[in-house]
Amino acid sequence: MAFLHGLSKSHTGSGSGLKSRSLTPYILLAPGLIWLITFFIIPIFSLASTSTMVRPEGSQIGTYVQELRFANYIDAFLASREQYLRSFIYAALATLLALAIAYPLAYAIAFKSGKFRNILLVLVIAPFFTSFLLRTIAWTQILADSGPVVSAIKVIPFIDETFRINNTSTAVVIGLAYNFLPFMTLPLYASLERIDPRTLEASGDLYANGLTTFRKVTLPLSMPGVVAGTLLTFIPAAGDYVNAAILGNPNTKMIGNVIESRFFAVVDYPTAAALSFTLMATILILVTLYIRRSGTDELV
Amino acid sequence: MKKDKQSISPEARAIIRAQLTRRTLFAGVGAVSAAGLLAACGTGSSTGAEAVVDVSDSEKIVRWANWPLYLDFNEETKVYPTLAAFEQKSGIKATYEEAIDDNNTFYGKVQGQLSIGSDIGYDIVTPTDWMAARYIEQGYAQKLDPANVPNKSNIRQVLANVGYDKGRQYSLTWQSGFAGFGWNTQKLPKGIRTMEDLFAPANKGKVVVLSELRDTIGVIMLYQGVDPSSNFTEDQFMNAIDFFKQKIADGFIRQVKGNSYSEDLKRGDANAVIGWSGDIFILRAESDGKFDFAIPESGGTLWSDNMLIPSTSTHKKNAESLMNYYYEPAVAAEVAAYVNYICPVEAAQPELEKIDPELGNSPYIFPDAATLAKVKVFRSLSTDESTKFQTAFDEAIGN
C-alpha cells in the first residue's frame, strides 16, 4: 500500500522534486519484483506450459511437444491419489505432533525461562546450523533396529522381536515433525511472549484456576501463533520428499517422491509438472479454508 | 561386457537421427533465444549443442564428475594419489568431484544446460552404459581423438565394442562391476546364493535392494529364467516387476535405494542386499570379513561406468590426456587396488599383483571366463520401453 500512498502524494505535490519522488517506490520495489518475475512468475508459466505437453511416440527421451492435453492432470492425479492422501495425512499428523511438543516448549521459554531465554531460543534454531539432509540421515542411526530407541522399546514385554521404527510410517512422521519443529516453535513463542502478564493476573483475580486461565486467556491470545506455526509446518511437510525417501519404505512414499521420480527417473516432465500444480492448488485451498475457519484473516 | 548387446530399434534410431539434424539446424539459427532459456529445464524440443572451441592449451584444467568412492584416496593426506601424479606429470590442474550419486538425477541436473549448449561445469562425466548411450544418442558427447588417447588399445577386449559405441569412439570404460547378493556373514553364516536364500523367512523386513532398475530387475529376470541381454518381451519384464512388487507387499523388501544401501548393512537394518560387488568388498575389507558378496546361482548383471566428454566441454584435449593416463596399466592397477571393481585394463593384472597378490588374482577384479559366463548385460531399451519400464519400476517402489 505504501507506494500508492506515495503516488497520490506526488500528484498533489508540485515543483521539481515531483518526478524523482514518484519513481522512488518503483525503484524500491524493483529488486523484489525482478526476483519474483525471474524466479517465480517465469518458472510458473514454464511449469504450466510443460504440464499439458505430450511425448510423441518413439521420440527421444525428454522430448515433449505442446498439445494442450489437460487430461494429463486427471491421469497424474488418478495414478498417485494414494500418495496425495498420504502426504496430507502425514503432514497433518506431523503438525499435531510438532504442536504438542512446541507449545509447552514455547510456553516455557516465554514465561518460565528467566535469564536462559536467549540461550534456549538459540538452541531452538541450532539444528539449522547443519544440513537438513544430514539431520534426517542422523535419525536413521537413532531409530536403527539395534539402536537405542528400538532396544529400549523392546524391553517392554509382548513387543514383537521384529519390531522396528526405521523405514515405517512412524519414522516418516517423526522425521517431518522434527525437521519443521522450529517453524512451529518460533511463531508460538512470538505470540506467547506478547501476552500481557497482567491479563493472566486478572484471570486469577477473577477466581479462574490455572487450567481455566490457560483455556480462556492464554490459548485464545496465542491463537495467531498456533495458526502461523501450523501453516509453516503443514505446508512444507506436505510437499516434503526427503523424510519419506530416507526414513520410509516403498509403502510410505509421499507426493514429493512421486514428483521427483517422474522428473528425474522417468523423465516425464508433463506428469511431474501437473502433479506439482495440483499439489500447489490443493495446499492453497486447504490453507484458505483453514484461515477462514480460524478467523484470523488479518494474519496473512 | 557382452558382445551381443542389443542396440535400439531401427525406427527409434531413425527418429533420433532426424532430431539430431534438426538440432544442428537450430544451433545455427541462434542458440540462446528466449525460448531456449525457457526450455532450459528441459522439454528438449528446442536448440541443441553448439560446436565448442577447445581452449585446452591456454586453460590447463580438467573438471571431472564421478561417483562416490571411485578413485584411490589417501585418508591421511586427503589427496587422490593417482590424480596428483597426473597433475604433476601433465601440468593440468584437475578438479575431481563426487558429483554423481544417481544416473537419472545427474542427467536431470545437466540436461537443460546440455540442450542449450551452456557449460555444465565438467569436462568428463562418468555415466553407466545405458545412460552413456543416451548422452551419445542425443549428441551430448564429443568424439575422442584417437591420437590423443593412444592407451585406448589397452581396453579389455569384451569392452572394446559395445552396442552404443562401436569401437569406443566417444567413451572409455572407467570401471565395471557385478550386481549380485551381499550379506552380513554374522547374521547369515551360510551366505546367500539363490533368490530363496535371499527371501528366506528370517530375512523378512531385512532385505534392501538397488534402485537401479537394470540391476534389481535384471537379477530377478535371471532368476525367472529370462536373459536380460536377450530381446525379452514386455510380459517377461512385467513378470519380474510382479515378483518384485509381491516381495515389497509381503514386507520382505524393506527399502529400495542407491549407493546408501551399504549404510543399512553396516547399521544392521539389512541382513542381505542386492548390491554392487566393489561396495561390498570395500565393506568387507573395512570390517574384517563381516560382509560378503556372491553372484547369484541363477546369474547376476554386469555393468560399466564410462568416461565421456560432454558436448559443452571446452577442455577436450585435457580430458583426453586424463583418460589416456588412467589407461596406463600401472595407474589402472592403483585405482583397482582401491575401488575393487573390474579393471578395464587387462594388462594391469601383473601390476596389481605387485601391490596386492590376493587382489591381483580376484575374479571380481580380473574376471575369468567362468565368472563372466554367470553374468549378463541388461540390453538397451528403446525410448518407449525405457519410459514404460521405468514408470512400472517406479510405481512398484511406491512412487
Q: What residues of A are in contact with residue B253 (Cβ under 8 Å)?
A: 250
* pLDDT for res B26: 36
Q: What residues of A are in contact with residue B45 (Cβ under 8 Å)?
A: 63-65
Q: Determine, for residues B204 and A141 on separate chains, whether the beta-carbon distance falls below 8 Å.
A: no
Question: What is the mean pLDDT of the segment spanning B167-192?
Answer: 95
The shortest CB-CB distance from B384 to any of A58, A63, A250 is to A58
- The domains of chain B are located at 10-170+309-327, 177-302+379-396
Q: Determine, for residues B394 and A261 on separate chains, whether the beta-carbon distance falls below 8 Å.
A: yes
The shortest CB-CB distance from A61 to any of B204, B248, B383 is to B383
Instruction: Check whether B337 has a pLDDT greater than 60.
Output: yes
The DSSP code for A53 is E
Report residue B245 as a C-alpha cell.
512388487
Q: Is residue A61 part of a domain?
A: no
User: pTM here?
Assistant: 0.82
How far is B64 from A189, CA to CA, in rounded Å? 48
The shortest CB-CB distance from B19 to any of A42, A60, A251 is to A60
Q: Do both A262 and A173 map to the same domain?
A: yes
Q: Is residue A14 part of a domain?
A: yes
Q: Determine, for residues A62 and B42 on separate chains, whether the beta-carbon distance falls below 8 Å.
A: yes
Residue A292 confidence class, pLDDT cut points 50, 70, 90: confident
Query: For residue A258, what is the nearest residue in chain B, using CA coordinates?
Result: B399
Residue B157 confidence class, pLDDT cut points 50, 70, 90: confident
Q: What residues of A are in contact with residue B15 (Cβ under 8 Å)?
A: 58-60
Instruction: Say what percent of chain B tops pLDDT 70.
Output: 87
CB-defined contacts A:B, below 8 A: 116
Q: Do both A137 and A225 map to the same domain?
A: yes
* Fold exhibited by the domain B177-302+379-396: D-Maltodextrin-Binding Protein; domain 2 (3.40.190)
Query: For residue A56, what is the nearest residue in chain B, using CA coordinates?
Result: B384
Q: Which of A120-124, A235-239, B11-15, B352-356 has the lowest mean pLDDT?
A: B11-15
* pLDDT for res B307: 97
Report residue B328 as a C-alpha cell.
596406463
In this predicted model, what pLDDT tens digit does every residue of A86-135 receive, in sequence order? 999 999 999 999 999 999 999 999 999 889 999 999 999 998 899 999 99
Q: Do both A78 and A47 map to the same domain?
A: no
User: CATH number for the domain including A143?
Assistant: 1.10.3720.10
The shortest CB-CB distance from B108 to any of A145, A257, A264 is to A264
State the Cα torsion B65-B66-B68-B71 to the nearest 10°. Answer: -120
Residue B254, min C-alpha distance to chain A (Å)? 6
Query: Within 13 Å of residue B287, how many CA atoms lie on the same side as its CB?
Result: 19
Instruction: Check whether A136 has a pLDDT greater than 60.
Output: yes
Q: Is residue A177 part of a domain?
A: yes
- Closest of B126, B107, B245 to residue B177, by C-alpha: B126
Q: Is residue A216 part of a domain?
A: yes
Residue A19 confidence class, pLDDT cut points 50, 70, 90: low
E strand spans, B278-317: 291-294, 300-308
Q: Do both A44 and A77 map to the same domain?
A: no
- Count the domains in chain A: 2
In this predicted model, what pLDDT tens digit does every residue of A33-50 receive, in sequence order? 999 999 999 999 999 999
Instruction: Check whether B200 has a pLDDT greater than 70.
Output: yes
Bridge partners for B256 per DSSP? B209
**Contact with chain B for residue A84, Cβ under 8 A:** no
Instruction: Classify B106 as helix, strand or coil.
Output: helix
Q: Do both A40 and A87 map to the same domain?
A: no
Three-state secondary structure readout of chain B:
CCCCCCCCCHHHHHHHHHHHHHHHHHHHHCCCCHHHHHHHHCCCCCCCCCCCCCCCCCCCEEEEECCCCCCCCECCCCECHHHHHHHHHHCCEEEEECCCCCHHHHHHHHHHHHHHCCCCCCCEECCEHHHHHHHHHCCCECCCCHHHCHHHHHECHHHCCECCECCCCCEEEEEEEEEEEEEECCCCCCCCCCHHHHCCHHHCCCEEEECCHHHHHHHHHHHCCCCCCCCCCHHHHHHHHHHHHHHHHCCCEEEEECCCHHHHHHHCCCCEEEEEHHHHHHHHHHCCCCEEEECCCCCEEEEEEEEECECCCCCHHHHHHHHHHHCCHHHHHHHHHHHCCECCEHHHHHHHHHHCHHHHCCCCCCCCHHHHCCEECCCCCCHHHHHHHHHHHHHHCCC
> Domain range for residue A46?
1-51
* pLDDT for res B291: 95
Q: Do both A2 and A115 map to the same domain?
A: no
The shortest CB-CB distance from A250 to any of B267, B386, B397 is to B397
**Contact with chain B for residue A168, Cβ under 8 A:** no
Q: Determine, for residues A60 and B391 on separate chains, whether the beta-carbon distance falls below 8 Å.
A: no
Query: Mutate which of A55, A90, A264, A275 to test chain B, going by most B C-beta atoms within 10 A?
Result: A264
Residue B2 confidence class, pLDDT cut points 50, 70, 90: very low
In this predicted model, what pLDDT tens digit does every residue of A156-184 receive, in sequence order? 888 888 899 999 999 999 999 999 999 99
Report residue A58 as a C-alpha cell.
518413439
Q: Determine, for residues B398 and A257 on separate chains, whether the beta-carbon distance falls below 8 Å.
A: yes
Q: Look at strands B93-97 and B61-65 and give their pairing.
A: parallel
* pLDDT for res B316: 95
Q: Look at strands B272-276 and B171-184 and give their pairing.
A: antiparallel
First-to-last C-alpha distance (Å) of chain A = 15
How far is A116 from A193, CA to CA, in rounded Å? 14
Q: What residues of B are in contact with residue A253 (Cβ under 8 Å)?
A: 397-399
Instruction: Check whether B22 has a pLDDT greater than 60.
Output: no
The shortest CB-CB distance from A59 to any of B102, B383, B395 is to B383
The shortest CB-CB distance from A265 to any of B269, B383, B390 is to B390
Q: Do both A42 and A173 map to the same domain?
A: no
Q: Do both A171 and A222 map to the same domain?
A: yes
* pLDDT for res B11: 44
Q: Do both A220 and A155 map to the same domain?
A: yes
Helix (H) or strand (E) holding A66: strand A65-66
Q: Determine, for residues A46 and B41 on separate chains, whether the beta-carbon distance falls below 8 Å.
A: yes
Residue A39, min C-alpha distance to chain B (Å)? 12
Question: What is the mean pLDDT of the segment spanning B130-137?
Answer: 93
* pLDDT for res B105: 86
Q: Do both A239 and A99 map to the same domain?
A: yes
**Is there a shared CATH topology between the B10-170+309-327 domain and the B177-302+379-396 domain?**
yes
* pLDDT for res A161: 81
**Residue with more model confidence, B286 or B39:** B286
Q: Is residue A261 part of a domain?
A: yes
Angle, helices B234-249/B213-223, rounded to nearest 10 degrees: 100
The shortest CB-CB distance from A144 to any of B38, B268, B390 is to B268
Q: How many CB atoms lie within 10 A of CB A59?
A: 20
In the block, cell 521539481 appears at A16
Q: Do both A180 and A219 map to the same domain?
A: yes
In this predicted model, what pLDDT tens digit does every residue of B25-70 receive, in sequence order? 333 333 333 333 344 444 544 344 456 889 999 999 999 999 988 9
Q: Do both A119 and A259 map to the same domain?
A: yes
How far is B390 from B399, CA to CA, in rounded Å? 11
Q: Is residue A114 part of a domain?
A: yes
Q: Which of A284-298, B103-117, B262-276 has the lowest mean pLDDT?
A: A284-298
**Contact with chain B for residue A14, Cβ under 8 A:** no
- Identify residue A238 by its one-letter amino acid code: A
- Asked whether B294 and B192 are in contact (CB, 8 A), the reply is yes
Query: What does each C-alpha distance from B183 to B186, B262, B271 come to in angstroms?
Result: 9, 10, 6
CATH of domain B10-170+309-327: 3.40.190.10
Q: Is residue A234 part of a domain?
A: yes
Query: For residue B109, what is the nearest residue in chain A, using CA coordinates?
Result: A264
Bridge partners for B125 per DSSP? B308
**Contact with chain B for residue A288, Cβ under 8 A:** no
- Could you give the ipTM of this predicted complex? 0.82
Q: Determine, for residues A59 and B394 on separate chains, whether the beta-carbon distance falls below 8 Å.
A: no
Query: For residue B248, what is the nearest residue in chain A, using CA coordinates?
Result: A250
